[in-house]
């Protein structure tokens, strides 16, 4: 790209939110015919920077040049006029509208809507890049990957030739990710500029031509991807050398802790969510749960925690001290949690379950402990010191323990949630999506915490979306496919493709 | 048979008042603003129209009906849009709580209307003495080309205007670009914003246009329903709340609001026409509950069926602030 005119030049961009400096004099160049990976930890300001390019935020200071001309992007409409389109991490789609209606939304044109002509144009774009979108389909009927496709088509429909994707693979299966990458390469070859925001190093290496790195709101540097390696990028991202291997200590005399037999669960609408699932979770072992999202992971954890009515089957808890066999089905959630079964579920919005956004850290710690003690008044001292401990040990980035959780960035919210669950000294620790959206550093802290629990003899059930992590961290991996058991594979030596296939097809047999 | 016809006629007149009210509210709610100030805005529209016509008729030697009609319409539209503008400024620009603002607007509207109503009563020489005969006559005259429509004939022109407006707003919401943008704003303002739709602009416009239509309901009540006078009996407020209930009953669809409003009218007046039964005042009131009971039944039925098309705009009642994280 030597000598070529940059499609976008950002210079000295600064943006603050109250006392927090999200971007501090950042420089960035984006070229056509190139895929740029924007790499950085959570809260390093990647999304903020791109939001300023797409008109969601307006910079406090700095200059943006598009095709050599200085521009002021005050709204998403301005951005579209300059050919800049962004696919947000949380999809910006209206659920009750169809794909075509979503795509045409906000576009200038004739007053009357001609949805048939829109449908035609959508089909043309789809065939050009190899998408599959049904223009008449309502968004609430779509899978996550279909929604993402609609988002991309929406941006292309507006004639964008500078595309920004914010963590596009966070919600995709490996197969879907491959398809997306193929499409992105098509676009690059078509002369478009593509920016992908990510914190997954292998994506950077697999896809991008150039990588730019942000750390704590500051631009650290950029370079052609082929001239660098994962180690160097991590060091630049974190600011100090980090080991990239997830450790996996050998399980220490595993004994069955939870034995599930023939578990069948239906949801309120009568749809079968789990059918005939049998497995054992051992103490001192991490049992990974893999599966496309919505394949019964949540129902599985919730039936163990007593939150989900079970239609048939049994879940037996073997008490580590007395060796007693306790049937968990039919017990109320509080009794189950008193046995030491802890559940930390990180939903997509990170706040939906387990934490109350408007309450501060101390109050959220209290949610677990307020029933204890006999006094009318709740004890605030213990939760406060617990909150301070979690903040200190996990490095939660917060102004103080009396800050509402809602104000923290996603990664910090998760540290609070997982930290609290671990602090209750469980015998069974269930975590779902514990590192969802977390950067490398924070993720490794969480893996570490989980490994410590495993070494203490806790039976850990780890629901994850990132297969690489599941394969590196778990002792055994249970693969779900449409609520059925597709297989249980040992974590050591498992093959990513194989597990990916098992996620999409029972038993993993390839389609002929 | 004549009884039935009389009931239907009464229902059409009654229904028209709340049809205006709820059509305006549907447009407003489609932008995500839950304006509980419907009764207040109907009050504003009604009193402003009446005041305009009253001042005109008492100053002109021979009032021209058409001029009175236009003055009343303009005054009603201006006053009710002002109500909508107050609501918009408080909830959109200052991000005040929508429920509180709406309820306050209702109290404000009824206060203003009763204050000026009382003052005009005094000027006219006593309670119930206000008369805008010429203007009211113009409102109640049936357009000549609309006679011979069976039970639908013989109504004031605004009854037909309401139906036309309902058809137009339905087409606007479902068939035009701006309608699509408006629906998106009410469903998911962040998405609409990212797509380049001016969320603030659409919310302001929809709320003010909605208020204007709602205000026409108040004007129709004054000029046609009680034939051009002022009554301090809270009649407008009662109908205003029914209009809000009708929005839910119609599941945010203007065309459903048309037959829904007439159904509410039938249910409301039913007690007068039940053959062989004469009811005392307290049992009449029980019958007047029927529209609300039907609304509750519809709510129950809709929530059991759980169809996505029947739900309120997803962002209804919530403020939008672009840089909130």
CATH number of the domain enclosing B306: 1.10.3470
The whole-angstrom separation of Cα A90 and Cα A101 is 19
Q: Residue A99 burial by CB count (10 A; 0-12/13-18/19+): exposed, middle or buried? A: buried
Q: Are B56 and B120 in contact (CB under 8 A)?
A: no
Q: Do A113 and B180 touch (CB under 8 A)?
A: yes
Supply the pLDDT for residue B277.
Answer: 65
Q: Which of B195, B252, B306, B321 to mutate to test the interface with A (most CBs of A within 10 A)?
A: B195
What span, in angstroms and rounded, lies between the C-alpha atoms of B208 and B82?
8
How close does chain A come to B251, measured CA to CA in Å?
14
- Is residue A286 within 8 A of residue A450, CB to CB? The reply is yes
For residue A405, give the nearest of A435, A366, A439, A437 by alpha carbon. Answer: A366
Q: Which residues of chain B have pLDDT under 50?
A: 325
**Of residues B192, B309, B323, nearest to A105 (C-beta):** B192
Q: Looking at the complex, does the CB of residue A56 fall below 8 Å from at least one CB of chain B?
A: yes
Interchain contact, B184 vs A76, CB within 8 Å: no
Answer whether A110 sits within 8 Å of B177, measured CB to CB. Answer: yes
Q: What is the pLDDT along chain A (512 residues), one digit of tens a residue?
A: 445 678 999 999 999 887 778 899 999 999 999 999 998 877 788 888 999 998 888 999 999 999 989 999 988 888 988 999 999 877 889 989 999 999 998 888 777 888 888 999 999 988 888 888 899 999 988 888 888 889 989 988 888 889 999 888 877 777 788 888 998 998 899 899 999 998 778 888 889 999 999 988 899 989 999 998 888 888 888 777 766 677 888 887 888 888 999 889 887 777 788 888 899 999 889 999 988 777 788 888 888 888 888 888 888 888 877 778 888 888 888 888 777 777 766 655 555 567 787 888 888 888 877 666 667 777 778 888 888 888 887 778 788 888 888 777 766 777 788 788 777 778 888 888 777 767 777 788 888 888 888 888 888 898 887 788 888 889 999 998 888 888 888 888 888 888 888 887 776 654 43
Q: Chain B contacts of A105, Cβ < 8 Å?
A: 180-181, 184, 191-192, 195, 197
- Structural domain spans, chain A: 8-238, 284-309+326-504
The topology under which CATH files domain A8-238 is: Rossmann fold (3.40.50)
Q: Domain tally for chain B? A: 1
- Tell which residue, A502, A478, A505, A501, has the closest CA to residue A489: A478
Quickly list DSSP for B250-284.
TTT-HHHHHHHHHHHHHHHHHHHH-TT----HHHH
A93 chain-B contacts, CB cut-off 8 A: 188, 191
CB pair distance less than 8 Å for B314 and A95: yes
ipTM over 0.90: no
Residue A346, min C-alpha distance to chain B (Å) = 18
Output the pLDDT for position A373. Answer: 64
Q: Sign of the C-alpha dihedral, residues B43, B46, B48, B50?
A: negative
Q: How far apart are CA A72 and CA A74, in angstroms?
A: 6
Strand partners, A281: A258
Is 1.10.10.10 the CATH classification of the domain at A284-309+326-504? no
Q: Fold identical between A8-238 and A284-309+326-504?
A: yes
B198: which chain A residues are within 8 Å (Cβ-Cβ)? 75
- In chain B, which residue's Cα lies nearest the Cα of A113? B176
B→A interface, C-beta within 8 Å: 175-181, 183-184, 187-188, 190-198, 308-309, 311, 314, 322-323, 325
Per the CB < 8 Å rule, is A97 touching B314? no
Supply the pLDDT for residue A62. Answer: 92
**Owning domain of residue B79:** 2-142+149-324
CB contact (8 A) between residue A105 and residue B190? no
Count of A–B CB contacts within 8 Å?
81
Q: Minimal CA–CA distance to A484: which of A299, A268, A270?
A: A299
Q: How far is B166 from chain A (nearest CA, A)?
A: 18
- Least Cα separation, residue A128 to chain B (angstroms): 23
A420-437 burial by CB neighbour count: b if 16+ within 10 A, else e? bbbbeebbbbbbbbbbbb
Q: Do A57 and B323 touch (CB under 8 A)?
A: yes
């Amino acid at each position: 790209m030597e000598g070529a005119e940059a499609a976008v030049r950002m210079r000295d961009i600064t943006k603050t939110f109250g006392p927090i400096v999200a971007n501090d004099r950042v420089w960035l160049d984006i070229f056509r015919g190139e895929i740029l990976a924007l790499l950085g930890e959570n809260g390093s300001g990647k999304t903020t920077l791109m939001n300023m390019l797409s008109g969601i935020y307006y910079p406090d200071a700095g200059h943006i040049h598009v095709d050599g001309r200085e521009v002021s992007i005050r709204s998403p409409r301005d951005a579209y006029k300059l050919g800049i389109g962004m696919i947000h991490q949380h999809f910006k789609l209206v659920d009750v509208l169809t794909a075509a209606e979503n795509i045409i939304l906000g576009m200038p044109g004739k007053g009357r809507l001609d949805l048939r002509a829109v449908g035609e144009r959508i089909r043309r774009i789809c065939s050009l890049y190899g998408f599959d979108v049904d223009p008449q389909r309502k968004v609430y009927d779509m899978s996550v990957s279909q929604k993402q496709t609609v988002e991309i088509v929406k941006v292309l429909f507006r004639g964008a030739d500078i595309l920004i994707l914010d963590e596009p693979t966070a919600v995709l299966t490996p197969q879907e990710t491959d398809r997306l990458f193929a499409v992105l390469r098509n676009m690059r070859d078509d002369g478009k500029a593509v920016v992908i925001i990510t914190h997954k190093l292998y994506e950077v290496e697999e896809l991008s031509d150039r990588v730019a790195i942000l750390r704590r709101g500051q631009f650290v540097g950029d370079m052609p991807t082929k001239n660098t390696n994962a180690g160097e990028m991590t060091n630049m991202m974190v600011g100090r050398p980090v080991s990239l291997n997830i450790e996996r200590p050998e399980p220490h005399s595993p004994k069955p802790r939870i034995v599930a037999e023939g578990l069948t669960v239906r949801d309120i609408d009568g749809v079968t969510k789990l059918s005939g699932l049998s497995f054992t979770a051992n103490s001192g072992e991490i049992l990974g749960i893999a599966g496309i999202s919505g394949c019964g992971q949540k129902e599985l954890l919730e039936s163990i925690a007593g939150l989900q009515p079970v239609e048939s089957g049994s879940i037996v808890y073997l008490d580590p001290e007395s060796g007693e066999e306790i049937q968990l089905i039919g017990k109320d959630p509080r009794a189950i949690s008193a046995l030491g079964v802890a559940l930390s579920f990180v939903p997509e919005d990170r706040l939906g379950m387990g934490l109350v956004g408007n309450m501060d850290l101390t109050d959220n710690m209290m949610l677990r402990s307020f029933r204890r003690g006999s006094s009318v008044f709740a004890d605030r001292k213990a939760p406060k010191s617990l909150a301070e401990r979690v903040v200190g040990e996990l490095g939660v980035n917060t102004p103080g323990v009396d800050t509402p959780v809602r104000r923290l960035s996603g990664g910090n919210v998760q540290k609070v949630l997982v930290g609290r669950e671990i602090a209750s000294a469980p015998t069974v620790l269930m975590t779902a999506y514990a590192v969802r959206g977390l950067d490398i550093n924070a993720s490794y802290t969480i893996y570490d915490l989980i490994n410590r629990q495993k070494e203490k003899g806790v039976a850990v059930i780890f629901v994850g979306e990132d297969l690489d992590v599941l394969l590196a961290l778990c002792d055994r991996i249970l693969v779900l496919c449409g609520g059925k058991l597709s297989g249980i594979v040992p974590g050591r030596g498992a093959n990513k493709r194989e597990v990916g296939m098992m996620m999409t097809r029972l038993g993993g047999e390839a389609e002929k | 048979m004549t009884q039935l016809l009389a009931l239907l006629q009464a229902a059409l007149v009654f229904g028209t008042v709340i049809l205006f009210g709820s059509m305006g509210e549907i447009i407003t709610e489609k932008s995500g603003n839950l304006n509980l100030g419907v009764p207040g805005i109907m009050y504003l529209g009604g009193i402003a129209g009446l005041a305009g016509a009253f001042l005109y008729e008492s100053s002109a030697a021979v009032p021209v009906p058409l001029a009175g009609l236009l003055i009343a319409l303009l005054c009603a539209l201006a006053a009710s849009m002002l109500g909508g503008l107050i609501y918009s400024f408080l909830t959109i620009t200052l991000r005040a709580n929508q429920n509180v603002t709406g309820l306050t607007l209702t109290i404000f509207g009824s206060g203003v209307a009763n204050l000026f109503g009382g003052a005009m009563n005094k000027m006219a020489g006593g309670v119930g003495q206000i008369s805008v005969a010429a203007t009211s006559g113009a409102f109640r005259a049936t357009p000549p080309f609309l006679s011979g429509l069976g039970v639908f004939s013989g109504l004031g022109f605004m009854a037909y205007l309401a139906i036309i407006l309902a058809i137009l707003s339905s087409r606007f919401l479902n068939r035009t670009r701006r309608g699509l943008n408006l629906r998106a704003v009410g469903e998911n303002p962040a998405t609409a914003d990212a797509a380049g739709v001016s969320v603030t602009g659409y919310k302001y416009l929809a709320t003010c246009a909605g208020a204007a239509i709602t205000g026409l309901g108040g004007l129709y009540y004054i000029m046609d329903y009680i034939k051009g006078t002022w009554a301090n009996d809270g009649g407008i407020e009662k109908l205003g709340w029914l209009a809000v209930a009708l929005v839910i009953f119609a599941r945010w669809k203007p065309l459903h609001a048309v037959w829904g409003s007439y159904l509410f009218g039938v249910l409301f007046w039913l007690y007068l026409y039940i053959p062989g039964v004469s009811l005392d005042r307290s049992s009449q009131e029980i019958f007047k509950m029927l529209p609300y009971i039907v609304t509750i039944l519809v709510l129950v039925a809709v929530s059991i069926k759980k169809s996505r098309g029947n739900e309120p705009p997803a962002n209804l009642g919530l403020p939008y602030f672009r840089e909130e994280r």
